[in-house]
Amino acid sequence: MLRRLARLIPILPLIFPFLAGINPASAQTYPNKPVRIISAFAAGGTNDVIARTIAPKLSEHFGQQFIVENRPGGGGVIGTEFAAKSPADGYTLTIATTTTHVIAAAMRKLPYDPVKDFSPINLIGATPYMIVVHPSMPVKNVKDLIAVAKSRPNQVEFGSGGVGTPGHLAGAMLNTMTGIKMLHVPYKAGNLALNELIGGHVSLTFSTTITSTQFIQSGRLRGIAVTSINRLPAFPNLPTVAESGVPGYEFSLWLGLSAPAKTPEPVIQMLADAVAKALQNESVRSTLIAQSVEPVSIPRQTIAKRIESELIAYEKIVKQSGAMTN
């Protein structure tokens, strides 16, 4: 018996990781083929820009290709479901966002669980929204907007990328906190809402800075406030909604890298370390900041708790907005 145990001792370190559900070889050789990062939204948006900013640095770090694959549709649900149901081997990752993991879950029953079906890797950044108006609107700031909206109930229209999208909820929150009644006009995508605003078909939108900056700089649109707690470095003269007369107003979108649940822990840790390293790179930071995305890296163990707490808060916002669909 002792001789048999003696023969087993050298291979025990190899046996126990498998019993724990971790393949040491997969972690030691990871990645040995290209890794895809699912962006659940169309090319050109915040989600896509974040993915394409971080992917090259992961490729450099691991010496293997990290390829961004866009799978838009359903407000981000289609691509996120695809990622959730992919093999948990570290070769399919996704850009998780407030939209896909909090807002969508607060609105309706999803084909995935935003907490149980994913293994958070690391946060990448947070970005606020900007209140953008058509130049013909007689408003220069939020106080002006509130005054006009109060004098014209349900006549000031704000466009968004659809019912329950961040642009919709940001507007609904402003309605609730100020007592105004702006009319929501949903479109099939955020860029369509922005195009309609440029054409003068709606009065304003709550847009990401990534999509609206070029139009503000060209004078085709006018930014009047940002929805973050602090002013943005890229727009230092643009006040926050809170300092413009709506204390307590804050609406931001976070984005992070995530993997299907049960992805081996060593692989998750390797990816988390690589993302943290990438966020220290000056070129990555400058690219994100130029898009008004604040680089943020937080312990991955706290991300699930953050999602759970935000779900409670957003369920209230969704209910007030009338966007609940289940």
Q: Which domains does the chain have, with CATH numbers?
A: 2-127+253-321 (3.40.190.150), 129-244 (3.40.190.10)
This prediction has a pTM of: 0.74
Is 305 exposed, middle or buried, given 0-12, 13-18 or 19+ CB atoms closer than 10 A?
exposed
pLDDT number for residue 164: 80
DSSP letter, residue 249: -
Say if CB 239 and CB 225 are below 8 A apart: yes
Q: What is the pLDDT of residue 183?
A: 95
Q: What is the mean pLDDT of each run of 10 residues along the chain (326 residues)?
A: 49 45 62 97 86 96 97 90 97 94 88 94 91 94 96 95 86 92 90 92 91 90 93 89 92 92 96 96 90 82 84 80 62
**How high is the pLDDT of residue 88?**
97
Cα separation, 248 vs 229, whole angstroms: 9
What pLDDT is attached to residue 244?
94
Q: Which two tokens stand for residue 188?
A: 């099939």
- 8 A C-beta contact, residue 189 and residue 132: no
Q: How many residues does the chain have?
A: 326
- Alpha-carbon gap, residue 180 to 139, rounded angstroms: 15
**Rounded distance between C-alpha atoms, residue 247 and residue 277, angstroms:** 36
- Report the DSSP pairing between strands 118-133 and 66-70: unpaired
pLDDT of residue 276: 95
Alpha-carbon distances of 250 from 54, 73, 129, 229, 242, rounded to whole Å:
26, 27, 9, 6, 7
Residue 216 CA to residue 214 CA, distance in Å, equals 5
Q: How many CB atoms lie within 10 A of CB 137?
A: 19
Contact in structure between 50 and 209 (CB atoms under 8 Å): no
